[in-house]
Amino acid sequence: MKSIISVRNVWHHYGISPVLKNVSLEIESGKLVVVMGPNGMGKSTLLGLIGGTIYPIRGEVEIDGKIRRSSIENESAIRRQLVYLPDTPFFPPNSTGMEFILAVARLYEIDSFRAMEHAEVLLGVFDLKEKAHSPISSYSTGQQKKLGLCSALITEVPILVLDEPFSGGLDSAALLAMSKILKMLAAREDVTVVMAVPVPELVEPLADKVVIIGDGEIIAYDTPAAIKQQAGGEDILLAEALESLVHPDKINIIDQYLKERKS
């Protein structure tokens, strides 16, 4: 199948030591790919590179056959078909939720009436209907997270890059809604989703493929079942597989600790 996102030999530093080391990744069209790994290992940097907020020191990122920031035409075309939602986006505080979502829809040239209809539905799904016409400054952290998700979904673009969409105080109803929406998107062949998730259990049933990053390098990139197999067996949890691949000694340390506490 055709790769819609290609990350080739990417190195990135913010300071002296590299955050990403010679990372290469091919993501096929229509797949839902989850990026996992411990904190500070380069998940958000990788997503930022794909999303376009970061430019690699070495290597290149190609989206649908066009290299990022290679020319005005290529970059504009990429920006029209990809949306990047960072972990903590900035919302204009005096704007209302509805105004914000519609402004994002207008940026992606969604027909006004269609956007209006979609915004109403999305706000309903995420229990934000009552707050839709209140300034965003009055939203709680969880509500702002939901609003960010609504803004990404209203764009109707074929590539969604979401940095930790399940974190930030989402309530159980929102988690359920998001899981179902992602499931629906995963089933579609024209939508590609790349997201970073710290809790593997949430995405195990959804993910087509999982990327495990450790110390700036890709340790594994395969289906959840294959990754579990690689880590020691299909019966283990994805979280355990992640830990055994990134920190092979960690499970032993935990087991040792529990044994000591029991005795």
Partner 1 sequence: MRPYWLMNFPPVWSIWVFLTVFGVTYWLDQWFPVAVFTGLRTLLIFLASLVFGAWRVIAFYPYPAGKYGRWLTMTPWQFGTRLPNGSIQLNASDMLTVGLLCSITLWDHDISIVTPLAIFLYTYIICATYSTFSGIPWRKYWLKKVLIAAIMPFAFYPVVSVYSMVISLAVCYWLCFSLLREVLKDFPWNQIAWLQSDEEVLTKKSLKTFIAGWPYSALAAIEKKEPRIKNRICEILVPILLAVWWLHAMMALTLDKNCFPLSFILVCIALLGIGIRLSCYLTGTAPPISLWGRIFNGYFIIPKYDRIFLAPLLVVILVFFAVYFMPESTQYAVWIFELTIFALLVILRGFPPSLDQWRQTGAFRIVRSKMIEKQASQVINKPKTVFEKNPVDLLMGK
Point out which residues bind partner 1 (CB under 8 A).
13-16, 48, 51-57, 69-73, 75-77, 79-80, 84, 86, 89-95, 99-100, 102-104, 106-108, 112-113, 115-116, 151
Q: Report the nearest approach of partner 1 to the CB of residue 77 (Å).
A: 8
Nearer to partner 1, 73 or 235 (CB): 73
Tokens of 215: 């110390």
* Listed residue (153, 138, 145, 198) closest to 173, CA to CA: 145
Which residue lies nearer to partner 1 by CB, 89 or 142? 89
Nearest by Cα to 36 from 168, 232, 175, 228? 228
Nearest distance in Å: CB 41, partner 1: 18
Distance CA 176, CA 202 (A): 10
Q: Are 170 and 142 in contact (CB under 8 A)?
A: yes
d(CA 260, CA 263): 5
Strand partners, 61: 7
Q: Where are the alpha helices (DSSP H) in 155-212?
A: 172-187, 200-203
Closest approach of partner 1 to the CB of residue 165, in Å: 15
Complex with partner 1: residue 117 or 189, whichever CB lies closer? 117
CB of residue 242 vs partner 1: minimum separation in angstroms? 28
- For partner 1, the closer of residues 74 and 179 by Cβ is 74
CB closer to partner 1, 106 vs 180: 106
Q: State the nearest-atom distance from the C-beta of 75 to partner 1, in Å.
A: 4
Nearer to partner 1, 143 or 151 (CB): 151
Instruction: Write down the least CB distance from residue 21 to partner 1, Å.
Output: 12
Question: Which of 153, 157, 162 is closest to 78 using CA atoms?
Answer: 157
Phi, psi of 129 (to 5 degrees): -60, -40
> CB of 213 within 8 A of CB of 43?
yes
CA atoms within 13 A on the CB side of 261: 6
Which one, of 52, 54, 47, 55, lies nearest residue 25 by Cα?
47
Tokens of 70: 């290679």
Smallest distance from partner 1 to CB 104, Å:
5
- Residue 86 or 198 having the CB closest to partner 1: 86
